[in-house]
Chains A and B, each alone.
Chain A
Amino acid sequence: QITLKESGPTLVKPTQTLTLTCTFSGFSLSTSEVAVSWIRQTPGKALEWLALIHWDDRERYSPSLQNRLTITKDTSKNQVVLIMTNMDPVDTATYYCAHRISYYGLDLWGQGTTVTVSS
Protein backbone atom coordinates (compact mmCIF):
# COMPACT_ATOMS: atom_id res chain seq x y z
CA GLN A 1 0.00 0.00 0.00
CA ILE A 2 1.41 3.32 -1.08
CA THR A 3 1.11 6.28 1.25
CA LEU A 4 2.59 9.77 1.22
CA LYS A 5 2.54 12.41 3.90
CA GLU A 6 3.66 16.01 3.79
CA SER A 7 5.20 17.78 6.74
CA GLY A 8 6.57 21.22 7.42
CA PRO A 9 5.73 24.55 9.03
CA THR A 10 2.19 25.82 8.92
CA LEU A 11 3.22 29.46 9.16
CA VAL A 12 6.15 31.24 7.58
CA LYS A 13 7.03 34.90 7.37
CA PRO A 14 7.50 36.76 4.10
CA THR A 15 11.03 36.38 2.67
CA GLN A 16 11.63 33.22 4.70
CA THR A 17 12.50 29.86 3.17
CA LEU A 18 9.97 27.03 3.28
CA THR A 19 11.14 23.44 3.60
CA LEU A 20 8.56 20.71 3.06
CA THR A 21 9.17 17.00 3.43
CA CYS A 22 7.23 14.24 1.74
CA THR A 23 7.66 10.94 3.57
CA PHE A 24 6.38 7.95 1.67
CA SER A 25 6.02 4.21 1.96
CA GLY A 26 5.03 1.34 -0.27
CA PHE A 27 7.38 2.17 -3.12
CA SER A 28 10.99 3.02 -3.79
CA LEU A 29 12.14 6.14 -5.58
CA SER A 30 14.98 4.14 -7.03
CA THR A 31 12.58 1.99 -9.05
CA SER A 32 12.50 2.72 -12.76
CA GLU A 33 9.72 5.01 -14.00
CA VAL A 34 8.75 6.21 -10.52
CA ALA A 35 8.58 9.89 -9.65
CA VAL A 36 7.33 12.18 -6.90
CA SER A 37 5.85 15.56 -7.61
CA TRP A 38 4.82 18.61 -5.60
CA ILE A 39 1.60 20.46 -6.36
CA ARG A 40 -0.09 23.28 -4.50
CA GLN A 41 -3.66 24.44 -4.27
CA THR A 42 -4.48 28.03 -3.52
CA PRO A 43 -7.36 29.09 -1.28
CA GLY A 44 -9.28 29.81 -4.49
CA LYS A 45 -8.85 26.10 -5.36
CA ALA A 46 -6.56 26.46 -8.38
CA LEU A 47 -4.06 23.61 -8.69
CA GLU A 48 -0.50 24.50 -9.61
CA TRP A 49 2.22 21.99 -10.43
CA LEU A 50 5.55 22.93 -8.82
CA ALA A 51 8.24 20.31 -9.30
CA LEU A 52 9.03 16.67 -10.00
CA ILE A 53 11.91 14.34 -9.27
CA HIS A 54 12.40 11.08 -11.14
CA TRP A 55 13.88 7.79 -9.98
CA ASP A 56 17.05 8.63 -11.91
CA ASP A 57 17.44 12.05 -10.21
CA ARG A 58 16.14 14.09 -13.12
CA GLU A 59 14.41 17.19 -11.81
CA ARG A 60 11.72 19.32 -13.39
CA TYR A 61 10.44 22.67 -12.20
CA SER A 62 7.70 25.11 -12.97
CA PRO A 63 9.47 27.84 -14.98
CA SER A 64 7.60 30.56 -13.12
CA LEU A 65 9.05 29.34 -9.80
CA GLN A 66 12.23 27.65 -10.92
CA ASN A 67 14.57 30.22 -9.41
CA ARG A 68 12.94 29.68 -6.01
CA LEU A 69 12.53 25.91 -5.92
CA THR A 70 14.77 22.97 -5.17
CA ILE A 71 13.59 19.37 -5.06
CA THR A 72 15.72 16.58 -3.65
CA LYS A 73 15.27 12.96 -2.70
CA ASP A 74 16.69 10.72 -0.01
CA THR A 75 16.04 7.20 -1.18
CA SER A 76 17.29 5.63 2.03
CA LYS A 77 14.81 7.65 4.10
CA ASN A 78 11.97 7.42 1.55
CA GLN A 79 11.68 11.19 1.51
CA VAL A 80 11.42 13.97 -1.02
CA VAL A 81 12.14 17.52 0.09
CA LEU A 82 10.93 20.73 -1.54
CA ILE A 83 12.63 23.99 -0.69
CA MET A 84 10.99 27.27 -1.68
CA THR A 85 12.84 30.49 -1.02
CA ASN A 86 11.66 34.05 -0.56
CA MET A 87 8.14 33.17 0.50
CA ASP A 88 5.37 35.67 -0.17
CA PRO A 89 1.73 35.84 0.99
CA VAL A 90 0.66 34.70 -2.50
CA ASP A 91 2.39 31.39 -1.73
CA THR A 92 -0.24 30.66 0.90
CA ALA A 93 -1.67 27.31 -0.18
CA THR A 94 -2.09 23.66 0.58
CA TYR A 95 0.96 21.79 -0.61
CA TYR A 96 0.67 18.19 -1.80
CA CYS A 97 3.16 15.58 -2.81
CA ALA A 98 2.10 12.81 -5.15
CA HIS A 99 3.40 9.56 -6.65
CA ARG A 100 3.60 8.95 -10.33
CA ILE A 101 4.53 6.24 -12.80
CA SER A 102 5.74 7.44 -16.18
CA TYR A 103 3.02 8.12 -18.78
CA TYR A 104 0.29 8.18 -16.14
CA GLY A 105 -1.23 10.85 -13.97
CA LEU A 106 -0.50 11.50 -10.31
CA ASP A 107 -2.06 8.38 -8.90
CA LEU A 108 -1.57 8.76 -5.18
CA TRP A 109 -1.49 11.96 -3.18
CA GLY A 110 -0.63 12.88 0.35
CA GLN A 111 -3.23 14.53 2.56
CA GLY A 112 -1.65 17.93 1.99
CA THR A 113 -0.18 20.47 4.35
CA THR A 114 -1.45 24.02 4.60
CA VAL A 115 1.13 26.77 4.64
CA THR A 116 0.25 30.36 5.47
CA VAL A 117 2.65 33.16 4.66
CA SER A 118 2.11 36.11 6.94
CA SER A 119 4.09 38.47 9.10
Chain B
Amino acid sequence: DIQMTQPPSTLSASVGDRVTITCRASQNINRYLAWYQQKPGKAPKLLISKASSLESGVPSRFGGSGSGTEFTLTITSLQPDDSATYYCQQYNSYPWTFGQGTKVEIK
Protein backbone atom coordinates (compact mmCIF):
# COMPACT_ATOMS: atom_id res chain seq x y z
CA ASP B 1 0.00 0.00 0.00
CA ILE B 2 1.08 3.58 -0.60
CA GLN B 3 1.65 5.40 2.68
CA MET B 4 0.59 9.03 2.89
CA THR B 5 2.32 11.19 5.49
CA GLN B 6 1.11 14.62 6.61
CA PRO B 7 3.36 16.43 9.01
CA PRO B 8 2.54 18.08 11.33
CA SER B 9 -0.60 16.66 12.91
CA THR B 10 -1.58 20.07 14.28
CA LEU B 11 -0.83 23.52 13.00
CA SER B 12 -1.68 26.80 14.70
CA ALA B 13 -1.84 30.07 12.77
CA SER B 14 -3.43 33.50 12.88
CA VAL B 15 -6.16 34.90 10.70
CA GLY B 16 -4.58 36.27 7.55
CA ASP B 17 -1.56 33.97 7.69
CA ARG B 18 -0.39 31.94 4.75
CA VAL B 19 -0.65 28.28 5.71
CA THR B 20 1.04 25.37 3.95
CA ILE B 21 0.16 21.74 4.64
CA THR B 22 2.45 19.03 3.33
CA CYS B 23 1.59 15.55 2.10
CA ARG B 24 4.18 12.96 1.12
CA ALA B 25 3.55 9.70 -0.68
CA SER B 26 5.74 6.64 -0.16
CA GLN B 27 5.92 6.18 -3.93
CA ASN B 28 5.11 8.05 -7.10
CA ILE B 29 1.40 8.85 -7.39
CA ASN B 30 1.77 11.17 -10.39
CA ARG B 31 -0.81 13.90 -9.73
CA TYR B 32 -3.60 11.67 -8.44
CA LEU B 33 -3.90 13.45 -5.14
CA ALA B 34 -6.99 14.92 -3.50
CA TRP B 35 -7.35 17.25 -0.52
CA TYR B 36 -10.33 17.22 1.85
CA GLN B 37 -11.47 19.52 4.63
CA GLN B 38 -13.36 18.04 7.55
CA LYS B 39 -15.09 19.91 10.34
CA PRO B 40 -16.28 18.22 13.55
CA GLY B 41 -19.33 16.06 13.06
CA LYS B 42 -19.31 16.50 9.30
CA ALA B 43 -18.25 14.42 6.34
CA PRO B 44 -15.04 15.33 4.52
CA LYS B 45 -15.44 17.90 1.78
CA LEU B 46 -13.41 17.68 -1.40
CA LEU B 47 -11.32 20.79 -1.99
CA ILE B 48 -8.87 19.77 -4.69
CA SER B 49 -8.46 16.91 -7.17
CA LYS B 50 -5.54 16.03 -9.41
CA ALA B 51 -3.18 17.83 -7.05
CA SER B 52 -4.21 21.34 -8.11
CA SER B 53 -7.72 21.33 -9.60
CA LEU B 54 -9.94 23.37 -7.32
CA GLU B 55 -13.46 22.10 -6.84
CA SER B 56 -16.30 24.38 -7.84
CA GLY B 57 -17.36 26.64 -5.00
CA VAL B 58 -14.14 26.28 -3.03
CA PRO B 59 -12.65 29.69 -2.14
CA SER B 60 -9.73 30.75 -4.26
CA ARG B 61 -7.53 31.16 -1.18
CA PHE B 62 -7.11 27.38 -1.32
CA GLY B 63 -4.53 26.02 -3.73
CA GLY B 64 -2.72 22.76 -4.34
CA SER B 65 0.57 21.89 -5.96
CA GLY B 66 3.01 19.06 -6.40
CA SER B 67 3.49 15.83 -8.28
CA GLY B 68 5.18 12.51 -7.76
CA THR B 69 5.64 12.16 -4.02
CA GLU B 70 5.50 15.71 -2.61
CA PHE B 71 2.35 17.79 -2.43
CA THR B 72 1.18 20.90 -0.66
CA LEU B 73 -2.12 22.52 0.19
CA THR B 74 -1.84 26.26 0.66
CA ILE B 75 -4.30 28.63 2.24
CA THR B 76 -3.14 32.06 1.18
CA SER B 77 -4.97 34.04 3.87
CA LEU B 78 -6.33 31.95 6.72
CA GLN B 79 -9.91 32.67 7.71
CA PRO B 80 -11.76 31.64 10.89
CA ASP B 81 -13.96 29.29 8.85
CA ASP B 82 -10.83 27.37 7.76
CA SER B 83 -10.42 25.85 11.21
CA ALA B 84 -10.69 22.15 10.36
CA THR B 85 -8.74 18.98 9.75
CA TYR B 86 -7.27 18.55 6.28
CA TYR B 87 -6.61 15.15 4.72
CA CYS B 88 -4.76 14.18 1.58
CA GLN B 89 -5.69 11.05 -0.36
CA GLN B 90 -3.96 9.26 -3.19
CA TYR B 91 -6.01 7.59 -5.90
CA ASN B 92 -3.20 6.63 -8.24
CA SER B 93 -3.46 2.99 -7.28
CA TYR B 94 -5.60 0.71 -5.15
CA PRO B 95 -5.99 0.58 -2.26
CA TRP B 96 -6.63 4.30 -2.05
CA THR B 97 -5.03 5.70 1.08
CA PHE B 98 -5.38 8.82 3.20
CA GLY B 99 -2.95 10.83 5.22
CA GLN B 100 -3.50 10.98 8.96
CA GLY B 101 -4.73 14.57 8.74
CA THR B 102 -3.47 17.99 9.74
CA LYS B 103 -5.61 19.94 12.17
CA VAL B 104 -5.50 23.67 11.54
CA GLU B 105 -6.22 25.79 14.58
CA ILE B 106 -6.75 29.52 14.69
CA LYS B 107 -4.57 31.35 17.24
Contact = CB atoms under 8 A, between A and B. Distances in A.
A107 to B, nearest CB: 5
Contacts of A105: 34-36, 46, 48-49, 89, 91
A107 B35 CA distance: 10
Interface in B55-95: 55, 85, 87, 89, 91, 94-95
Task: Give the interface SS of chain A, mostly helix, strand, loop or mixed.
Answer: strand
Contact of A48 (B44, B49, B85, B98): B98
Interface residues of B, number: 25
Interface in A92-117: 96, 98, 103-112
B76 to A, nearest CB: 21
Contacts of B46: 104-108
A62 B94 CA distance: 7
Contacts of B1: 63
Residue from the set A60, A63, A109 with the largest chain B CB neighbour count within 10 Å: A109
Contacts of B44: 47, 96, 106, 109
B49 A104 contact: yes
A66 to B, nearest CB: 9
Interface in A66-114: 96, 98, 103-112
Interface of A: 37, 45-49, 52, 60-64, 96, 98, 103-112
Interface of B: 1, 32, 34-36, 43-46, 48-50, 53, 55, 85, 87, 89, 91, 94-98, 100-101
